[in-house]
Structure 1
Amino acid sequence: MLFTKASEYALLSLIYISSKSTPQDVETMSKELDISKSFLAKILQNLARDGILNSFKGANGGFLMAKNPQNLTLLEIIESAERHEMSVFECSRSKQSCEKGDSCKIWHMFNDIQNQIDNYMGGITLQKILENGAKI
């Protein structure tokens, strides 16, 4: 799977928001992170919809962490930002999605790679990323 700018911007915005104790508005974040305001708003809304962020409306509104960075994995962030499960290959999640079905000789290898990547990314938390020097 190719990670898009949505994944990158979701991660950058979560690093930014997690360092704040008050809701952060899209306009300020857009300027600070040099990200299109409309694109950032869409990403943040998806993260809020998935319970990663809390969204507050009004003059003092914005976004605040809903989930503890220790309990938020890179896999969850990317799947929320991309709006679908991460798949390394089109068929790597399900043998039923393979055109060759049961006669496919490489599906097991693709599925094994998918499981290893899921486990690896599921083991990286936002907290680990923050501790390893992500500076904003």
Structure 2
Amino acid sequence: MHITLETDYAVRIVEALTRCGKRLDARALSEQTRVPQRFALKILRKLVADGIICSYKGAGGGYELARSPGEITLREVIESVEGPYRISRCQEDTYCCDHTTCRFHEIYGEISQQVRQKLDSYTFAAICLEEGARSCGYDCPGCQQHGEGKGGE
């Protein structure tokens, strides 16, 4: 099991917005995260639709977190891109098997629930901002963590 490239990019985008702590436009996010801009825009739309980030149009527009980084979990970002986490398609309502006799249905359900709970335990504040969190390595103009564009360690 692994997350998709799109999900990895979504996590990077939310990380950059968390660490910089300010509104960034799509171009800046793309450059800082090394996510191709067209792909970043697609991901940004999903994150906006799920209430993880907000978008602003016009001069001074861009994207910023919709909530405190302490309220945004790794699971939310992953599921914004990939949909609800399940270890197996056996957990999907549309998958047809006899759940009453399938020995794996319950096992897969328990494992999926444990993974969801673990992903919920990681907030972007804990990942990015708490003492001991590594520098993001991004060259963030006006970044709270690095001052004026002092990215890296």
Q: By the TM > 0.5 criterion, same fold?
A: yes
2:25 and 2:63 in contact (8 A); partners too: yes
Deviation at 1:5, TM superposition (A): 1.2
Aligned AA (1:38): R
1:98 and 1:104 in contact (8 A); partners too: no
Alignment of 1:1-136 (within 5 A): 1-82=1-82, 84-92=83-91, 97-130=95-128, 131=130, 132-133=133-134, 135-136=136-137
Q: Give the secondary structure class of the aligned counterpart of 2:91.
A: coil
Q: Give the secondary structure class of the aligned counterpart of 1:63.
A: strand
2:56 and 2:63 in contact (8 A); partners too: yes
Cα-to-partner distance string for 1:57-116 (whole Å, 9 max, x where unaligned): 11321101111111111111100122x11111112366x745132111121111111111
Q: Which structure shows the higher helix fraction? A: 1
Aligned to 2:147: none
Percent identical pairs in the alignment equals 28
1:73 and 1:122 in contact (8 A); partners too: yes
Q: Kindly tell me: are residues 93 and 119 of structure 1, through their superposed partners in 2, closer, same or farther at Cα, counting changes over 3 Å?
A: farther
Q: TM-score, normalised by structure 2?
A: 0.79
State the Cα RMSD in Å: 1.8
- Structure 1 unmatched ranges of 5 or more: none
Aligned AA (1:119): Q
- Following the alignment from structure 1 to structure 2, what is the Cα–Cα distance between the partners of residues 70 and 93? 30
- Following the alignment from structure 2 to structure 1, what is the Cα–Cα distance between the partners of residues 74 and 29? 21
Give the total of aligned pairs: 134
